[in-house]
Structure 1
């Protein structure tokens, strides 16, 4: 006997539909609440860590202006400015800044005029600049100290400024300032799909884990705030465009749901706000709302399936009552269909759980492999530097021994001249001693900079300066081996996107290889040619050696491929150099010259300089 569809009253169908809608709505609300609470708890913990790291970064260098203010030479320079005192204070500030690893340390008079700076011997020196328009100068003069975040009008690099009034006999005579870079804080925050921001009192985002959000306005910029930013040049050279922010819910436990983004396609986030060491700043964390949406979808889907199951079960019972007369056969068939449905649901659930676990294991394994690879690459690059320094050690020792011997002779002469009261001659000897120590300082400074182990950091790099550092490191060998060395560099300096330390390592390796190849020839010419081609720059190193064997040329940049004598090298230098240039999105190629010798050409992206007013 066949049964038709269950015939329920209309009110029964309406009641079931209303109950289902209410159940789905309750499941949606509960899932959203649980998801938001999870995000809130996770985000609050992250914000506590971020606030602690920001507080540590801001307070780490706060003592430096006070240290500089206690220096007698600094007070003397502010009282009676002069070239000799200015040089002494410049050197002192440079040493303190280098030891503390801050960005810049400098001293200003009451008018905001920079008298001395740790970057006095750099192209972007602050010495002689008028910085009286900066708020931290007036705050230090009026209140004893100042704190300020802004973009440098000379360097174009953002940083946080600590200022401290310099007092002498109860009178404020100047200001000591230290600039601190917060790039490492931003880099530590850039993890995952969440966005960490620091917003100032004007609503400008000046720290962000995602660079696309940086120097945007989080809320409309008021005219008074815009005027203050313009007068202080706080964000010089940057156009402050608004972010796209749309509030989608009222605050829930102090957090709200927003649609935000720097472009035309904003994403949904849970917005959390945390206090910062600076009372006018806000530390914000935009937690990706996608996990909440996924939880809601899964919960609603599960609820719908459960409701469907309940409704089906209800209809089954109802139909069963109608089907009593059908007998045991119909009941058995219906039970089989029900069991099959449960089996498929269980199998599908087990498959999904196993697939998810496998995916998580593969992701974790890949992350571990990438970390090991990065560490190995950094170690190999540093080992390459140490190998080059080892090859140059004899020449460097000679370069240091000559001025040391001269220092001893000049010191002994000065002692004899003092006994005979020949003060003018003593002054000459002391001047020579100062010049020799400065020369030795430059040599050791270049060695320290070259040997520094640092992570990759792309920035604008001056090719002229990089070549100058390479020449200074290899000057002794060039002279001893009677190399005719020429550089063809455009009059306007060429800047490229690279890591300065690693670019110098590649250039040193190429020049050392060229010198090694010319040991067996009498004509020893080494030429370095720099050219610009569109948006790319090329650096070509040419020698007059025997060239590269044809069978070796195709495999030259493979590891352990070398043309040197056994024991003279492992064949890793060019492989490391090629890898470094590849990290800069550049290329390194080798070729034989028709007139004899080899040439290596580096191609890198140009970095156009924009100078501040």
Structure 2
């Protein structure tokens, strides 16, 4: 039997393939086929059992996650509801406290002699004025919206807003209001509605005014409750108060005011029209709210709402997230206080519980699989131990053979180690030689640089001393004194130049300072003044006044002398007449640029890449060491600047030194 890619292929004898049986080969083939069929059936059954187990376990994980979600949601709702009930107590207490402040006021007004006198003589103007002033004073202290008195027909005789044209209640009839009807019948009147005169909503307290057994009129106080809206709007909850008809008259959301939680019946709408309770509020559009699911116990439920209005089509999805709705009646009224809390935190807790449970079940599954795998490994190890015991003798022979091979390899490795150590010793010696060679090269470069830098001051000293002798013979003592002072300065400067030797040997921190470029150019030209006169070099200067750079004046002077000497040599080798050299110092957006132009031979393109290499020179042998530009470039780099070469507009070369302006600051300052 051959197995290939999970499929069994049988090679049967010819008689069996033709339907004959009886020979030993035929019997053998039948047994093989029977075993193959049994194995196939067992393999298929095992596979289906495994898939069934996986499916059952996935269902268990899903069920566990769903159960954990429900438990987490129930726990979150319980915690949210506890906080909601506490806040409902606070809102209800504040609302009731606001109302209780004015309940006594109509009774106080009913006892006023000014009011009683006016009701006994309603047409007396003086009594009406006195009553108006009294009500205005009472309202100023009570800070209500309005206080007014009506006769038994509902006509207002006096009001606190009597002197407010257009909004005065005087001579207005409110007999259609329920609070008037209740007070006339001898009961305290309580009513919330929108004023037909002021167009402002308010809560009305009324009390009958009697004289003995005779009903004289009704005293009414109107209170504005809008400040409760402002306090509720700062809460994270959605708070609203509804009347007995389900109309919202106070809400933390301004768009919900004077809208109904449910569609109003025609009888209710007719009653509201008669009392003119919400005449100015419009059509009392309902808030599209649906009960998502009730909660056991209390008045709480989970709702979904769409404050923008009813759905326009069956396919529209206007409802937003879930809210926990809890309500509480307001004592002494037919009102109900409702609070809507966002269920997003509850859902987050539930999702966390579900995900945590699912992960726990997955971990448990992996743990069970791990244990089973460990048990399988233990069985495999026991079987492997028996196999290893059987192969031990063969392994002993192999170890002996390998030991001999390792001995030869060890001898070869020892030889390689000895050769490697010898190579490392040679490498170390070579590195020491290279380091010594590098030191000698640096010392040679520094010595050549010092020699190159001292030539020009020595020449100037010789010139000044010779001139001093001539001036002394002529009796020009002032000029002799000037030359001697200049010689002293040059001597000090030569001392400063030689002091740079230690800086070449060990780099020190560069001390940058503000340097006037005009003074530096003047000092450099002074050192070269004799050569300029002798060789009749046409030197021009374009120095921007007041230009200062951040560098060291002495070392910048060395760079400038090197560049000027190279320019003089270039004009001499070119054989031009006149030999022109121009020094330019100007300010640019990048900093300060100092340029030296000449009309010499210029710089060949193939020379440009190696121009600043040490010991590279285009001069004839013996005329230069090739260190001037390399040293100058190093000095400029120490300043944080850049030395570049290009073709000049004079026809030769131009060397540009770019430095920072003196106003800038660096870490070296």
State the TM-score, normalizing by the size of structure 1.
0.51
Kindly indicate whether residue 125 of structure 2 is the aligned counterpart of residue 83 of structure 1.
yes
Look up the SS of the partner of 1:89 in the other structure: helix
Matches of 1:272 and 1:225, distance apart in 2: 25
Match for 1:316 among 333, 351, 370?
Answer: 370
- Contact in 1 for aligned 2:114/2:134 (Cα 8 Å): no
**Residue 189 of structure 1 pairs with residue 243 of structure 2:** no
Contact 2:67 2:354 in 1 (8 A): no
Name which of 241, 253, 259 aligns with 2:297. Answer: 253
Counterpart secondary structure, 2:102: coil
The aligned counterpart of 1:35 is 76
Give the equivalent residue in structure 1 for 2:251: 208
What residue number does 1:119 align with? 161
Match of 2:176 among 133, 139, 143: 133
Q: 1:120 to 1:326 in 2, by over 3 A?
A: farther
1:270 is matched with 324
**Alignment-derived partner of residue 190 in structure 2:** 147
Tell me which structure has the larger Cα radius of gyration. Answer: 2
Q: CA deviation at 1:192?
A: 3.5
Q: Report the equivalent of 1:230.
A: 273
| 3-state SS, counterpart of residue 294 of structure 2 | coil
Partner of 1:505: none
| Structure 1 pair 327–152 and aligned structure 2 pair: CA distance change class (3 A) | farther
- Once the two structures are superposed, the pairs formed by residues 88-487 of structure 1 within 5 Å of their partners are 88-123=130-165, 124-239=167-282, 240-254=284-298, 255-263=300-308, 264-324=318-378
Q: Provide the C-alpha distance between the structure 2 equivalents of 1:214 and 1:266, rounded to a whole number of angstroms.
A: 19
The answer to whether the 8 Å contact 1:167/1:174 transfers is yes
Distance in structure 1 (CA, Å) of the matches to 2:156 and 2:174: 7
Distance, in Å, in 1 between the alignment partners of 2:338 and 2:194 is 21
Shift of 1:324: 4.2
Select between 155-164 and 318-327 the one with higher mean Cα deviation. Answer: 318-327
Q: How far off is 1:260 after superposition?
A: 1.6
**In structure 1, the residue corresponding to 2:203 is in which secondary structure?**
strand
Residues 276-318 of structure 1, C-alpha deviations (whole Å, 9 max, x = no match): 1234211111111111111111111212222222222222223
Q: Aligned match of 1:69 in 81, 93, 110?
A: 110
The residue aligned with 1:51 is 92
**Superposition deviation, residue 191 in structure 1:** 3.1
Aligned 8 A contact 1:205 1:217 in 2 = yes
3-state SS in 2 of match to 1:304 = helix
Greater relative contact order (CA < 8 Å, ≥ 6 in sequence) = 1
Partners in 2 of 1:147 and 1:187 — Cα distance? 23
Report the Cα offset of residue 15 of structure 1: 3.1
Contact 1:257–1:268, Cα closer than 8 Å, also in 2? yes
Instruction: Please name the residue that 1:467 is paired with.
Output: none
State how far apart, in whole Å, the 2-side matches of 1:136 and 1:247 are: 34
Partner of 2:9: none
Name the residue aligned to 2:590.
none
Per mean C-alpha deviation after superposition, the further-off stretch among 94-103 and 299-308 is 299-308
- Cα drift, residue 61 of structure 1: 0.6
Once the two structures are TM-superposed, the CA of residue 265 in structure 1 deviates from its matched residue by 4.5
Deviations 1:352-397 (A, max 9, x none): xxxxxxxxxxxxxxxxxxxxxxxxxxxxxxxxxxxxxxxxxxxxxx
Deviation at 1:22, TM superposition (A): 2.2
**1:37 Cα deviation from its structure 2 partner:** 0.3
Per-residue deviation, residues 502-557 of structure 1 (Å, max 9, x unmatched): xxxxxxxxxxxxxxxxxxxxxxxxxxxxxxxxxxxxxxxxxxxxxxxxxxxxxxxx
User: Is the contact between residue 201 and residue 224 of structure 2 (CA under 8 Å) also seen in structure 1?
Assistant: yes
Q: Secondary structure at the match of 2:85?
A: helix
SS of 2:359 mapped into structure 1? helix
- Secondary structure, in 3 states, of the residue corresponding to 1:84? helix
Distance in 2 separating the partners of 1:230 and 1:278: 24
> Is the CA contact 1:202–1:222 (under 8 Å) kept in the aligned structure 2?
no
Q: Hey, which bits of structure 1, 4+ residues long, moved more than 4 A? A: 324-328
Deviations 1:153-205 (A, max 9, x none): 11111110000000112211100000011112222222333111111111101
| Cα offsets for 1:560-601 (capped at 9, x unmatched) | xxxxxxxxxxxxxxxxxxxxxxxxxxxxxxxxxxxxxxxxxx
Task: Decide whether the 8 Å contact of 1:108 with 1:176 is kept in 2.
Answer: yes
Indicate if the aligned counterparts of 2:88 and 2:339 stay in contact, CA closer than 8 A. Answer: yes
Matches within 5 A, 1:12-31: 12-31=53-72
Answer yes or no: is the 8 Å Cα contact 2:304–2:319 preserved in 1. Answer: no
Do the aligned residues in 2 keep the contact of 1:261 with 1:267 (CA within 8 Å)?
A: no
SS of residue in 2 equivalent to 1:78? helix
The whole-number CA distance in structure 1 between the counterparts of 2:106 and 2:78 is 44
- TM-aligned CA deviation for residue 55 of structure 1: 0.8
Measure how far apart 1:327 and its partner are: 7.0
Query: Secondary structure at 2:216's aligned position in 1?
Result: strand
Secondary structure in structure 2 of the residue aligned to 1:266: coil
Q: Which string of whole-angstrom CA distances, capped at 9 and with x for unpartnered residues, describes residues 127-163 of structure 1?
A: 1111111110001001332000001111111110000
Alignment partner, residue 438 of structure 2: none
Q: CA RMSD in A?
A: 2.0
Say if 2:188 and 2:205, in contact at 8 Å, map to a contact too. Answer: yes
Matched residue count: 324
Provide the rounded CA distance (Å) in 1 between the counterparts of 2:381 and 2:203. Answer: 85
Give me the whole-angstrom Cα distance separating, in 1, the residues matched to 2:332 and 2:261.
18
- 1:545-564 equivalence runs, <5 A: none
Aligned to 2:482: none
